[in-house]
Every structure is written in structure tokens, then in C-alpha cells.
A and B are shown apart, each in its own frame.
Chain A
Amino acid sequence: MKTVKRIVLGIVVSILPAITYAQNVITGHIVDALTNEPLIGASVIVKGEKTEGVVTDVDGNFSLQTYHEAPLKLKVEYIGYRPIDVEVYDAEEPVDIKLREKHDFLDEVVVLGYTTVKRQNLTGAIASVKGGDVVSTAATGFNEQIQGQAPGLIISGTSGTPGSNVFIRLRGTTSINAGNDPLYVIDGVPFNSQPLQTISNGGQTINPLSDLNPNDIEKIEVLKDASATAIYGARGANGVILVTTKRGTHGQKTRVSFNAEYGFAKAAKLWDLATGPETAQILNEAWVNDGKDPALIPYRSKESGGLGTPEEQQTYDRQDVLFRTAAVQNYNVSVAGGNERTRFYVGGEYTNQEAIVKTQDFQRLSFRVNLDHDINKKLTLSTSTSLSWTKRSLSRIGNSPKGILQASVHHSTLLNPFNEDGSYARYGIFDNIYALIENSNHHAYGLRTVDNINLSWKILKGLRFKSSVSLDYNNYREKRYFNTNLADGQPSGNATDATTQNYTITAEQLLNYNADFGKIHSLAAFVGNSIQYTGLRTQSISGSNFPGNSFQEISSAAVTTGTTASSTSTLVSWFGGINYSLLNRYAFDGNLRADASSRFGSNHRWGIFPSLGLSWTLSEEEFLKGIKFIDALKLKTSIGWSGNQNIDDFASLGLWSGGGTYNDKSGLLHSQLANPDLKWETTRQWNIGLEGSFLGGRLSFELDYYNKYTYDLLLSTPIPGKTGFSSIYSNVGEMSNKGVEFQITSQNIKSKNFEWTTSFNISHNANKVEKLPVSFSQYDRDWVRLEEGKPMYSFWLYKQLYVDPETGNAVYEDVDKDGKITVADRQIVGNAWPDFTGGLKNTFKYKNFDLSFFFYFSVGNDVFNMNRFFQEHGGMRGTNWGFLKSQMNRWQKPGDITDIPKASTLPNADGSYNNGFASSRFLEDGSFLRLRNLSFGYTLPKTWTAKAGIENLRVYVNMTNLFTITGYSGADPEGNTAADYTHGTVQGLDFAIPPQPRQIVFGLNVTM
């Protein structure tokens, strides 16, 4: 028996090495059938044995070891390409496969907040933007760079200052006093998009999204309808923008990519100012028109006691002093790779953008490390870590008389900026432009880290549990010093030093289940919980009376004051969702989120946000299957509720404030009444849409109609004075947004040497304040009005009908017919909402050349041209304020037909003023068509670069804002001087804002 055992053992021993020997190696090469470009990451698996499989490397090659003997069956797959079955009869022969692109957009996988769904089974409205489409436009924040690329997303660059904030609205505006910006989620981390700026900068704010390096972005998903956003509950009412950054992939050869850009920026258009002689002429004319003695006009010969004749006046245009050709540079390097167990992406970037106005620039140094490691077959550990440092040089622009723009543009051109002794001359409220440029000392330093670490456990096939912790920490320090050479530094210097810290810690647990049951049922479900803790702390110290201009630290100041403030909030959430598809034809999507926020009153702390979605893929029905040119056609609808919790942390609490000093004794002040009933602003939204793909995916479109209704708007409502307070926040207002979005993409030509694709989108949103107890104005000047039945951003002005050709007086509409023009005659004459916005992009590739151009357009948005309001003053503002050249078109003699009244400073008989009256005369159509980006590149032939080990080398030139077609008379129809106004509730006021520059950037991209 023992002998038999030994013989058996011997046989086993003999067979084992034989089995080892039997392992076959199959090699091959996978390329794109049209371009012959290698396909990196294509999977090659032995059919029926999923454990035997590989992916192609960076050259499209693979080497597959298998115990199977020929003939064996392989499946070759690659996302976006038609899979191919291969039967290998000769294992020695290389498997060289050409895959053809599959233009079936419904097969695309869409990343949602907590799950991924095939586009075929998607019931919501979601727009996707690829990372490559983001970086082609020169801007510091990706939210500015995606302008015009996602229908329904209105984005407006409020200023030409790099790093400054943008106006962004997704499917309209839903709130007045809570935030209106969408929720940003970067790799699963909620990203705080509120600027931490505390020092007013003339109406301009910084863009917190500039803290993120756009080069790191892989993909952006814009979640628009409630089916997609309700799962973000109390933060989803304004839409959600999901950003996925780049990561390494399995089996990816380490790839190094370097990108360098250098270029220039310059204002495409500035203000056309009246010359010194013209200014004098207008002022003389106003003198006469006001009925004063013509012999004593101010600009008459010096011999007669005047200031010199108009012809003798010099012209001092200060715009050339302020504006410059700015240098723009960006350097980005990234390394990505992975083996069977570990994937990595490491990125680093430095950008330095000078503004077109001196004294302003933006610098950013950022790093990112994204790591994934398969601990074993069940557990995967992932981290996403980014760290960025920013430095901004700032100066006041906008509505700030001592700011650089007003000192440059609004100054009268006949006034010499220097006194006779060579010192700086100052006139009226304006500071001297030379002094402002030479002594500007205002900087802001940001340090931000956004991190996520998560552990994913594959419990069973299709069942996965993920636990993650994330941190968004932002430290923002501002330091401004006015020395004694500046008007604001009088008499002995003035400085502010402020630091604001904001942090959000989120812990999240998520259980996902995805399964396909044959070809009939498909299921994706998830349930999860998250706890979010947010803190905000500000410390600010100010000093004045410095010993000298060399002493700039506040500790040197004789007088110092300081303030501190801090608050925290917590959000606890439970959520779950299910997406079920039958026969890939009928899909149901249901989501539910319960949020509890510490920001709301104790009586309404929890909010429930459900959503339902349905889709019907008509192209899977028999009656459409025979129509070959239709690849896919889907009808979808959804309804859901989402909230807005973007209010102050302690908004519902009764507050006592310290600092109520009385007789040098400390005391407390009751600063806010409690409102335990304060609750969410809730938005109900329904959506119906149709999307389709035709002609083998060459043509695809999406059409959506949505209806959003927001109720329980947070408004300040009056209360009896005996309470000691005049108002209290409560939920009383209502607002609606209805709109249509359309997007079409066409692959016009695709051949081996030439490709041409076009994409176009257009969207319309109609906003209306449905319920408002009392009309009220926004902004310091009461021109922007909130009124029931009217849209937000409405302009409340006098309506100028015409200029009387005989008298030269402006004639305004007398609304109440009382014969007088008073405040009661002001009316809403327009609004800043565009009727339509959209984008058109064309991309061409011919052999190694590539060309793309992207137009952005906005139609029907009104802009109140405040520059004209102040600089067509007809003499009203005296000698120090200059005129725009357009003032020369004023009425000057009987019979003149014009809309600019005569120069005068006195009121008319009806009580109106010809000049200085906020009227519809200054409200202009701000429609524009802008060539936002033109990019031209050339990729060197690989036969040239391969010898140097370079996989890809492209040289290119990117041109931004090359031209703008508009009837608007100002420098930039997108400018907004009140970007910092409460939650962006003022839009379309153009005043002393540097225009968005025209940029040309030369770049080099090398991949090894």
C-alpha cells in the first residue's frame, strides 16, 4: 500500500511541472481601426475564465498567460469601442486587433453622487464636460472654463482680474438670501465655494474654485434635475457639479506628462473718453444751458480770468497708465501609472497670471496625489489629496472712488495728474492713479487642502461597502496697507490684517449593490449615511497712526483694533436610492435623503428630500427597432425636492454679542431674535426630456424642459418695534424657474486623416418672483428691484421716452400721470437675465494638426451701463468727473435728434433731471457672441519623437476672447460691479470693472 502511495506521488510530481510547462503566452496589439493609434487599457480576457485577462499597455500591447490550449476564445473590449470575439488557433501568431469606435452614447457610464448608472438607464438631466475641454480656455478656475459647455449653466466672468469670482447659476436662481451657487463635490468631498474674503475690494470677490488645478480634472458632471440632485438633499437645490480628478489605471505604464504655457493678455477694448478740449466744451455748454452768464463760462481765456479756452486744454488719458500687456504662464507636470495592485496619479502645477491692470496678479502652486491600492481581492484603499497655495495681489476696482479703475477711467482727462511741483495731484474723491499703482500693498494668501481617504470592501459580487473621511481646509489671509502717499493712508497710514479659516470634515458610509439579472433586469441600489461638521473662524486686526511708511506691521501702529468671529454647523444625513431597469427599456429611479442641519430651528431640523424618475427607451421597442438610422431614443421624466441650507450657521438662534461696552465696562447686546420655526428653502423640480443618438452615434441630442418652484424662501420680515428689533428671518417667499435646454453633437466627418465634430447647446430660463410680501431693492443704489411677478435682477428705473428735439430735455414716462416725475414713476424696464445662452464648438483634426474654436453667446440680457450713468453726466458731477466720448452725441441745438439730453445740471419743469437720473437710457442690450477660445496645435510625428523616448509632443497656441460681437457700448458686457453683493443677488451692473482680456498663450505638451 505504501508503495502504491509512493507511485501515485511520483505521478503527481511528474505531472505538476508538465502543467507548469503548459502555460501559453499570447501576445498582441490593439489599435483604433481608423487612426491606428494604440488603445491603452483595452481588456483581453479568456472567455469563460475572467480571472485570465490583461489590459493593453501604453503602446497598445498585451501579453496574456493562460493555461488554456489553443484553440481558445478571447474577448477584446475597450470603452467606446465595439467588442470583438477572437478564436486563437495558433498561439504563436500575434493577436493584432483593430477596434472600431462605437457611437452609442447610451452605453456611456455616468457618475452620480453615490453610484454609477449607464446613460441608458438614467432618468435625470446630466451634462458632462471632459477635462480636456476645461483646460483649453485660459482662466484660473474650472467653473469659469466650462462656460457655455453645459446647457442650463449660466456662467459670467464678472471681471478681467485673474482669480476673481464668476457668476454661476444652474437652471436659474432659487434664492434671495441663501446661496445660489451650485454644490461642488470634488472626488466625493463637498467643496466650500464661499469666498473667505473679508476686506472689501470695490465689489469684487475671489473665486475659491481657483484653488483647484484644472489640469488635474478628468471629468465634470453637472447634475441638474431633481432626480440627480435630490440625493444631495439640503444642498442640492442649486444643482450639483461633480468633479472627478485623474487617477492611475491598472497595468498602466508610468507616464509622465509635462505642459508649459506662456503668453500675453491685453484688454480687447477700453473706454473711449472725451478729450480735454471736449470736456471743457461740455462744461461750458452746461454753464450756458443752466442760464448762467455766457461771458463767464469757466473755460475761457486765462486773460479774462478763466481756466483757458477749450482748445488750450490738455488731454491726460490715464488708461494707458493703468493697463498693460500682462504675462501669463503655467507649468504643469503629472505622473500616472499602476500595476496590478496599485494605481497612482501625482500632479504639480505653478501658474502666474498678471492682470491687465497693474497692481493685480494671481499665483498658484498646487500638488495632488491620488492613490489606489488593492490590499487584497476584497479591499481597496484610496486617497485623494490636494494642496494648493495661492497668492493674489489686489487693489480696489469697481464702485470705489479711491480704487484704481475710477482713478484711471473716471477722472476728467483735462486734469493734470501732477501738480506743478511734480507731486501727485488729487481731485475730489479720486486718488491719484500714479500713487495708487506705486504704493499698492494689498495681498491675499490662500492655503487649502482637500483630502479624502476611503476603504472599499467588496463583500460579494456586486455588493460593495465604502467608508470615507474627507477634509476641506482653507486658510485665507489678507493684508492691506495704505501708506501716507495714498488718500486712504492719511494722516499716518492705515492697515488691516485678517485671517479666515474654514474647514469641513465629512465622514461617510456607503453600501452599493449593482447587478444584472440576465438581459432582463438591471439593478443599482445604495444606502448611506454622512456626518458633516463645518467651522468658520475669522480674526481681523486693524491699525492706524504708523510711525512711518517703512513700518507696515500692525504692531507698529499707535491705534489698533481687533475683531474675531466664529461659528460651526453640523449636517447629519441618511440617504438611499434605487435604479431598476427592465429589458434596458424601462428604467425607474428613486432616491430619498433625510438631512438634519444645526442651522435651522429646533422645530424643523430634519428635512426629507425625495425624488422619482422614469425613462422609456423607445428605440428598444419593436416599432422603432427597424428604423436603422435611430441608434437610441429615450424619453425621461423626473420629479423631486431638494433644499438650500446655505444660510448663516446661527441664523435660527437667538444671539447675544459681546463688545457692548458701557462706561468702560464689558457688556452684552441682544443681536438676533431666535426663530425655532426657521426651515429649509425647498425647491420642487420636475423635468421631462428626450435624448437620442442617430446614424451610428454620429448625431446625438438632448432636449429638456424643467419647472422649478422654490418655496419657504428665507426673507427678512418686519416685526413690531417693541421687540427691540425691526425684522426677523422667516420662510415667506416663493420663486419659480422654468426653462428649456437643447444640446446637439455631430461628428460631421471622420476619416483616417480628417475629423470634424460640432457641438452646440442653447438654453432658456424664465425666472419669476412668485410671492414676496414687500417689494424691495438690492444694492446701495436702489436700481435693482425685487418685486412680486417680476424676475430677479430687474432694473427699477425711470423710463426715458425721448429727448425733446426743441428743448434738448429728456422726457420720461409719467407713470402716475401727475405731471411730475418722481420716484413713483420708476418702473421695471428690463432685467439682467439672458433670454438664451449657449455655446458652439467645432473641432478639426487633419493629420497631425488640430484646430478648435468655441463661441459663447448670450442673448437678451440687459446691462445697466453705470460708466455711462456717471460719465454722461452733462456737467452734473462737476469738473473732476470725466466724460465718455458718447457725451459728444448730446443735444446741442434745436432740431438735434438724439437720446442724450443737453448738458445741464438743473432740474426740468417736471422735476426730472436731464443728467444724473437713473433712467432706461443707460440700460443696454448686453447680448454678445464671443469667440471664447481658438486653439491650434500640431503633434510631431511619432517617428521623430520616439527616438527621444517621447510618446507625444504637441505644440499649440490658445487664444481666448479673440473677439466679441456685441451692440453693448461698454468694455465688457459680462462685467458686474456688485459681484460681492449678498449671495450674488445683483447682476448686470457694469461699473469700473476691467474687461476680460484677450489672451494668446503658446504651449508645449510632452508625454513620455
Chain B
Amino acid sequence: MKKLYIAIFTVTFSLVGNSVWANTHVENNSETNSVENNNNTTTSSTYYINAPRFVRPLIEKWISEYRKVDPRANFAIAKTAETKGKSSLNIQLKETSANNDLAKHTVYFAEYAILPVTGKNSEAAKTLAKQELNSKNIKSLFFEKDDFEEPNKTDKKAAAYVVYTGNSSQSVSAEFASYYGKDASSFRGKRIVGDDLFLNTAIVKDPQGITFNAIPNIYDLNTRKLKSDLVLLPIDVEKSQRSAFVEGSTIDELIRVLEADRGNNIPVERIGFSYQDGDSNITNFIAWILAEGENYNHDFGLLRLDAKLVAQQTKLLSSRLTAQK
């Protein structure tokens, strides 16, 4: 009888142990399973949105607000490989030219800025504190030299830092490189596989680490200030803009300055949804974003679009909705 108890205990422990391990494993691979679990209750007509993390809070806000307008609307953020593969809307991180697929559209809803950062107590924070980085210096710091590129003083310093850059298609790295006339493959240093949010993790761990990120990823959207473990690398900007970059300034101040004047050394790119035309549910949702949702951009660290562009896109969507009816 004693043996039987022991056998039952062993089998039970074994099963419990495995399931605990399995749960942990899944959690490690997904930020919030709760959303996915919630999705189990959604209908088969759920529209998944594939988006990097810096824009997810805004999209989640839209989803919840839009549900008030249209309770039948069923949009959700894709967070697993499976749901990403089924996404109806994909984030487009840069302005695109027309493509061959006439049914594929991109509608922009905001702009985002990218700023170079490092860990608060890093070597880079100390050594680069007094140097305002212009375009040439930023290139030297972040990129491999082109074969025929002239050397400059920053080249020697650059070797002391480890550049971390995002590797996925949803990373802003390609746009940062493009802004400086480079290709993403020419970044120095290490690549991060995962969301750009992990770039912060990497530079905080590495005292030599430097990176850049979209501002919703580097500002705390609650306190509106820079995240406590990060510091901005000083950028050569207009005098009138400097106050927005000093320690203690808020993301709101930064957005205000950037919307007023983009500045020479700060990449600002459009962000939008790329999707297949033909589904009025999607078109309605996007039309609502342009009409209402866009008002939340600042709250979540994104710049608002030029009003003219919003009007043009709204008009276009209106004509598509008519066609879809």
C-alpha cells in the first residue's frame, strides 16, 4: 500500500512539474498570455493586428474605444507566431511607394521619432555627455565605415561602444539607417532578435552599450518622463529645441517641439497600417482611427499626422467604403 502511495505521488509530482514547467515556458515566450487567452472567447472573425510593442498601447486603446462605437468589432493584437501569420493589419514603419498589388493599401495614422539612448550609468553616458552628436558623428558611432568614407575623430571613440540594433521587420533600425543614408546591414555591433523594447534591456546590461529606439519605448507613458534607467545621447539640435532634450523634460514637450520643427538629426517617420482592401469592417475601423483615434497619438508617444494627409486619406477611405457597399 505504501508503494502505491509513493507511485501515485511520483506520477502526480511528475505531471504537475511538467505542466508548471510548460506554463513557465509559454509565458517566457509571450508577453501576456492573458490577451491570447481572451482571444479564445472571440469569434472566428477576429481581425488580428501585427504591431511592434511601442505602438501596441495606442492600438489597444483604439480597440477598446472603437468597441464602444461598434460593439461587434473584434480587433486584437497578434502576439504569437500563429496569430501574426493571420494578421489582417500589419504595421508599416515607413512611407512606401506604390506596389504591384493594387488591392494592398497603406493608411498612415501617426509619425514616430527615433532617438539614440544608452544606459543611465553607462560609459557612453559619461563619455558622450558633452559632445553634441551631429549626423557625421552618429554615422561614425552606429555604422561600419563605407569603403571610401573619410575617417573622422569619432571613429576611434566608436570602437569603445557596442551598438545594439533590432533585427526584425518591425524594428525601427532599418528606418534609422535609412535616415542616415545607410543600410541596416551596415550597423556595427550586435543584433537583437525580438521586439525593440529588448534593446533597452540590452544596453542596461552592457555598460558599453548604445542604441536608439522609438520614443514610446524610451519614455514612461505614465510619468511622461524618460525611463529611469535610460539617458538620451546628446544630439545637435536647434537652440530652441534643446529644452525638450534635457534631463527631466517630458515626452509631451518633445512631441510638441518635433511637431513644430523636425530638426536635422532626429529621424521622424510615418507609421500606418498595411492591409488588403475589400473588407468594410477594416475600412470602417481605419476610418474611425483617422477621425477619432488619432487624437490619442500624443498620449501614447506618437506624433500626429499633418491634417492635410489625414483629410486626403479620409476621403480615399470614404470612396473605398462606398465601393465596398
Contact = CB atoms under 8 A, between A and B. Distances in A.
Contact of A88 (B25, B183, B184, B194): B194
A33 B183 contact: yes
Interface in B201-227: 201-202
Given A10-B14, A14-B13, A97-B167, A86 B6 contact: no
A88 B193 contact: yes
Contacts of A9: 10
Contacts of A628: 145, 151, 155
B18 A696 contact: no
B6 A6 contact: yes
Contacts of B10: 6-7, 9-10, 13-14
A87 B196 CA distance: 12
A12 to B, nearest CB: 10
A98 interface: yes
B295 interface: no
Given A99-B185, A628-B155, A87 B192 contact: yes
Contacts of A95: 167, 193
Interface string B149-184: 001000100000000100110000000000000011
Nearest to B148: A695
Contact of A90 (B25, B189, B194): B194
A85 B189 contact: yes
Nearest to B79: A92
- Chain B CB count within 10 A is highest, among A11, A87, A695, for A87
Contacts of A93: 168, 193-194
- Chain B CB count within 10 A is highest, among A14, A71, A85, for A14
Interface in A71-119: 71, 82, 84-100, 103
Interface string B121-155: 00000000000000000000000111110010001
A697 B146 CA distance: 11
Interface string A802-841: 0000000000000000000000000000000000000000
Nearest to B17: A14
Contact of A14 (B18, B81, B167, B202): B18
Given A6-B6, A87-B190, A22 B25 contact: yes
A87 B193 contact: yes
A516 interface: no
A89 B13 contact: no
B21 A89 contact: no
B29 to A, nearest CB: 6
Contacts of B191: 84-87, 97
A70 interface: yes
A3 interface: yes
A90 B21 contact: no
A696 B144 CA distance: 11
A919 B89 CA distance: 89
A17 interface: yes
Nearest to A98: B185
Contacts of A70: 28-29, 194
A438 interface: no
B185 A86 contact: no
Contacts of A84: 190-191
B9 A89 contact: no
- Chain B CB count within 10 A is highest, among A10, A13, A96, for A10
Contacts of A71: 194, 198, 201
A89 B195 contact: yes
A520 interface: no
Interface string B6-32: 100110011111100110010011000
Contacts of B151: 628
A3 B2 contact: yes
A542 to B, nearest CB: 68
A22 B194 CA distance: 19
A6 B7 CA distance: 9
Interface residues of A, number: 41
B318 interface: no
Given A6-B10, A10-B13, A696 B21 contact: no
Contacts of B167: 86, 95-97
Contacts of B194: 70-71, 88-90, 93
A18 interface: yes
B80 interface: yes
A21 interface: yes
Contact of B18 (A17, A82, A86, A87): A17
Contacts of B13: 10-11, 14
Contacts of A585: none
A69 B26 CA distance: 12
Contacts of B6: 3, 6-7, 10
A696 B147 contact: yes
Given A85-B189, A95-B193, A17 B14 contact: yes
A22 B23 CA distance: 11
A210 to B, nearest CB: 42
A381 B21 CA distance: 43
Nearest to B11: A10
Contacts of B164: 87
Given A33-B185, A87-B191, A88-B194, A18 B18 contact: yes
Contacts of A94: 193
Contacts of B195: 89-90
Interface string B285-325: 00000000000000000000000000000000000000000
A946 interface: no
Nearest to B82: A92
B198 A7 contact: no
Contacts of B243: none
A411 to B, nearest CB: 62
Contacts of B144: 82, 100
Nearest to B16: A14
A69 B21 CA distance: 12
A93 B167 CA distance: 10
- Chain A CB count within 10 A is highest, among B2, B22, B167, B193, for B193
A13 B14 contact: yes
A758 to B, nearest CB: 15
B145 A22 contact: no
B17 A15 contact: yes
A698 interface: yes
Contacts of B201: 71, 89
B147 A695 contact: yes
A136 to B, nearest CB: 27
Contacts of A697: 147
Interface of B: 2, 6, 9-10, 13-18, 21-22, 25, 28-29, 80-81, 144-148, 151, 155, 164, 167-168, 183-186, 189-195, 198, 201-202
17 contacts: A3-B6, A11-B13, A14-B10, A14-B17, A14-B18, A17-B18, A18-B17, A21-B21, A84-B190, A84-B191, A87-B191, A87-B202, A89-B192, A91-B29, A93-B194, A100-B186, A697-B147
Which 4 A-B pairs give the minimum distances between C-beta atoms? A10-B10, A89-B194, A33-B185, A90-B194
